[in-house]
Chain A
């Protein structure tokens, strides 16, 4: 999927997009537990999370993730935004809860990080 297809599927607001809508994303990882993301996420995946701490951006950076989508209408503030800007991470926000967000992306063919 492209970034623009993800934005459309999740009816997401774009908070920060330093990369561009044509970015290809072929996997997704959804968790509020950053240690799980660090364990299972593949490079280039989109991260769906309900957390908005600066650690979401650091986690994305370490795991080579370029897109974070905050679910349940959450929007990161202050340090998280500043860090994302500094590290060129795309930030999205959707009003959908975690389960619906995952479902919509999975229905459109976006795979998880563990399946082949």
Chain B
């Protein structure tokens, strides 16, 4: 299915859902322009003009007693009697909405009666609490759709979204980086890029920090001790696994290599701030699981996992 088609289906479906979910009180205008039954139709003319509206409820001490519209005013004008009181012109059988009605009731009433507005009253107190026009409904729906759209957009980059959209028994995102042996100008670039990507994927920052500190140490080991290798990060729901594989000389005694401070690095490596025998212990500290396989003369594969 094309992308715009998907969006269209999403919008229409969502609008229909929304008119069932939303309540009248979420869409209505709360500051209502009203008149009293004793006011004149001239007062109505002035208020309609001033507020650019086409009708208003008539209230007495907060209670809804009628509704008066521009059609009523036109009749008054035609008869040349704009000084008559509102109560002689207003409609008294007013169709109302309750504030807690779902918006779909309002939509149905607009269709059934053809009125421009409905006064909204509180179900318990019966007092007037707002007024609802078609424009109010459209405004409310657009605002909601916009919020939904932004939320959806924000989720698009999160792995949760990817994982939910690509169902399988075991979905994973795999990021692969080639590491050049001996290139100190670039040593760290792969872990740096990995860190940016993990952030983009929404991995929590503390987990991202541990993953990339460990991958950076592993990357430095490949640059320092081997002709090259690769760093592979596998991102799955709940965990990130990094595999650092090289074509280096191998580690003859892994247990010894794991001891803090044990190092075979030459002085020039130490001058770069590495090779002090802290790399492997540091990777172990940062990760939840760690494994090393090494064959002298063939290479080393180091794998660690951080639970996210």
Q: Contact residues of A with B, CB < 8 Å?
A: 32-39, 43, 49, 51, 53-59, 61-64, 79, 87
Contacts and interface: CB of A to CB of B under 8 A. Distances in A.
B273 A32 contact: yes
B185 A54 contact: yes
Helix, strand, loop or mixed for chain A's interface? helix
Contacts of A33: 270, 273-274, 276, 278
Contacts of B185: 54, 79
Interface stretch (B33-41, B86-94, B209-217): B209-217
Given A35-B273, A55-B184, A63-B213, 5 more contacts: A33-B278, A34-B274, A35-B217, A58-B188, A59-B216
B197 interface: no
26 contacts: A33-B273, A33-B276, A33-B278, A34-B272, A34-B273, A35-B274, A35-B282, A36-B278, A38-B213, A38-B216, A38-B278, A43-B209, A53-B272, A54-B185, A55-B187, A55-B188, A55-B272, A55-B274, A58-B189, A58-B192, A59-B216, A59-B273, A62-B191, A62-B195, A62-B216, A79-B185
B212 A62 contact: yes
Given A35-B278, A35-B279, A87-B192, A62 B273 contact: no
Given A35-B217, A35-B282, A38-B217, A51 B191 contact: no
Considering the complex of A and B, which 4 residue pairs feature the smallest CB-CB distances, nearest first?
A58-B188, A34-B273, A35-B278, A62-B216
A27 to B, nearest CB: 15
Contact of B273 (A55, A61, A63): A55
B205 interface: yes
A53 B278 contact: no
Interface of B: 184-185, 187-189, 191-192, 195, 205, 209, 212-213, 216-217, 220, 270, 272-274, 276, 278-279, 282, 285
Contacts of B195: 61-62
B272 A62 contact: no
Nearest to A31: B273
A40 to B, nearest CB: 10
A53 B209 contact: no
A51 B269 CA distance: 12
Nearest to B190: A58
B264 to A, nearest CB: 14
A39 B188 contact: no
B210 to A, nearest CB: 10
Contacts of A61: 188, 192, 195
Contacts of A79: 185
B81 to A, nearest CB: 70
A58 B216 contact: yes
Nearest to B216: A62
Given A55-B184, A58-B192, A35 B276 contact: yes
Nearest to B275: A35
B188 A63 contact: no
Nearest to A79: B185
Contacts of A54: 184-185, 187-188
A34 B265 CA distance: 14
Contacts of A58: 187-189, 191-192, 216
A56 B209 contact: no
A79 B279 CA distance: 24
Contacts of A35: 217, 273-274, 276, 278-279, 282
A63 B217 CA distance: 12
A24 to B, nearest CB: 17
